[in-house]
Structure formats: C-alpha cells, structure tokens
Amino acid sequence: SQQGEEDPQALSIQEGENATMNCSYKTSINNLQWYRQNSGRGLVHLILIRSNEREKHSGRLRVTLDTSKKSSSLLITASRAADTASYFCATAGGSGGTSYGKLTFGQGTILTVHP
C-alpha cells in the first residue's frame, strides 16, 4: 500500500518557471526522500531530509518537511525541459530496525516542462 499522496498528479509548465510538488504521508518517519524517474526506468535519488530537519537545498532543488502536518514539498527552480520526468516522494520508517530500510513511495507527480 502507498504511504500517502502526492499533489498534483500532473504538472505542466514552461521552461524557466518553478515547479512545486507536494507529498503527504501517514505514519512517523525517520527521513523523507525524493526520487526522479524517466520514462518508467530506474529511480534517481534527488535529496533526503531527516525528520529533525525543516528545509534542505541541493542545487535548484528545495525540500521542506513539516512533521506536524506529515507533509513535504519539492520545489524545482528555473525548470528545464530536461526536468521532464515523474517525481516520487518516499518515506523511511521511524522505528528503526527492519523498517528503516523499507521505502514507502507515493503515487508520483508527472512533470512536463515545455521548451
């Protein structure tokens, strides 16, 4: 079963615009990660934010985490056509042990960036 929901399901923007994707989850977490997937192939890790962090940056990516609302957002600034892909949030369990390595993914957001 999926951990939560991503919003929107699809996003279409012009090159140069910013793209914001949201993710909600249901249980306590150790960390939340964002992955990118091109054309139904393997996932590429983008960024990880731990449960005690509120914001993290990596290049054109900015991730926020609100554990009180069980939600996260991914902002891609100055988008490029090459950013066109599906984006998934994934949570890693908060209790450690065997649940720590299990990632629970959302349904994903399909981002299309038009040149």
Partner 1 sequence: ETGVTQSPTHLIKTRGQQVTLRCSSQSGHNTVSWYQQALGQGPQFIFQYYREEENGRGNFPPRFSGLQFPNYSSELNVNALELDDSALYLCASSTPGTGEQFFGPGTRLTVL
Interacting residue ranges for partner 1, rule: CB under 8 A: 1-2, 30-31, 33, 35, 40-45, 48, 50, 88, 90, 92, 98-108
Rounded Cα gap, residues 88 and 85, in angstroms: 10
- Between 14 and 26, name the residue whose CB sits nearer to partner 1: 26
Phi, psi at 52, each rounded to 5°: -95, 5
- Indicate the burial class of 9 (C-beta count within 10 angstroms; 0-12, 13-18, 19 or more): exposed
Q: Which is nearer to partner 1, 14 or 57 (CB)?
A: 57
Question: Is the distance from CB of 4 to CB of 44 less than 8 angstroms?
Answer: no
Least distance from partner 1 to the Cβ atom of residue 53, Å:
12
- Min dist CB 31 to partner 1, Å, is 5
CB of 16 to partner 1, least distance (A): 28
